[in-house]
Amino acid sequence: MLEAIFVLIAMFGAFYFVEFVYPLNERGGIFAFFVILVAVFLIIAPGMYSMITGAPFVLTTKKRLSAMIKLGNFKKTDVVYDLGCGDGRIVREVAKCGVKKAIGYEFSFFTFLLAKLRTFLNGGAEEIYFRNFWKEDFTDSTVIVCFLLPKPMEKIKKEIWPKLKKGTRIVSNDAKLPGVVPEKELHKVFLYIKK
């Protein structure tokens, strides 16, 4: 969503910029337009990729956020990863539980900036990174939280779940981990524990 708004603003800005430069220098105007177009594409491409391979940025409800915290049963020794952390609200609440580490990965540039800004303004203990979580290592995790679509949950089952150590918990908002029976469910939030 943030990417779409940025694209519209950037495109209108580019057209007005070219309209201003074009009468002054025809080649310069066309070159400037293509430079702006390439820059816009490079900035939004990771966000589009993350929407396809994870989920679009959607806010969770307070009820589900509370359910995630309750089911997560976070402890001071927990190392928690939020896959596709959005604006950071879930990982921020997890950090408030006093965990050892609360790390959020976001691959949509503007959503990442929003999460970093909110962390800065709220003085949160969470760490937010602009990274593709599919390329990260979660072997040190004790808890993984996520709010993803069903297809990415299938990929988590195939690629991430087998590498997790025994006792690692996954708290999933809305989508189930296919083929694994949840330990608990509350308000469409599911808790899974690696056996």
Taking only the tens place, the pLDDT of each residue in 136-181 is 999 999 999 999 999 999 999 999 999 999 999 999 999 999 999 9
* Residue 76 in this model has a pLDDT that exceeds 80: yes
User: In this predicted model, which residue has the larger pLDDT, 140 or 29?
Assistant: 140
Pair (86, 131) in one structural domain: yes
Pair (131, 162) in one structural domain: yes
Pair (70, 165) in one structural domain: yes
pTM for the predicted model, two decimal places: 0.78
Pair (67, 104) in one structural domain: yes
Average pLDDT over residues 29-40: 66
Pair (45, 10) in one structural domain: yes
Boundaries of domain holding 122:
62-193
**pLDDT attached to residue 88:** 93
Residue 161, CA atoms < 13 Å, CB-side half-sphere: 19
Pair (18, 81) in one structural domain: no
Pair (117, 138) in one structural domain: yes
φ, ψ of residue 193 in degrees (nearest 5): -125, 125
Pair (80, 134) in one structural domain: yes
Q: Among residues of the chain, what percentage have pLDDT more than 90? A: 62
* Residue 123 in this model has a pLDDT that exceeds 80: yes
Burial (CB < 10 A; 0-12, 13-18, 19+), residue 184, is middle
CA 93 to chain centre: 15
Q: Which residues of 80-93 are buried (b: 16+ CB within 10 A; e: fewer)?
A: bbbbbbbbbbbbbb
Count up the domains in the chain and report the number.
2
Pair (45, 78) in one structural domain: no
Strand order in the sheet with 101-106: 127-130, 101-106, 79-83, 143-146, 169-173, 189-193, 184-186
Pair (70, 37) in one structural domain: no
Pair (88, 39) in one structural domain: no
User: In this predicted model, which residue has the larger pLDDT, 4 or 82?
Assistant: 82
134: domain CATH number? 3.40.50.150
**pLDDT attached to residue 193:** 98
Pair (168, 104) in one structural domain: yes
**pLDDT attached to residue 155:** 95
Lowest mean pLDDT among 28-37, 93-102, 150-159: 28-37
User: In this predicted model, which residue has the larger pLDDT, 124 or 96?
Assistant: 96
**pLDDT attached to residue 109:** 82
pLDDT averaged over every residue in the chain: 85
User: Is 83 in contact with 145 (CB distance < 8 Å)?
Assistant: yes
Contacts of the segment 19-27: beta carbons below 8 A, 24+ positions apart? none
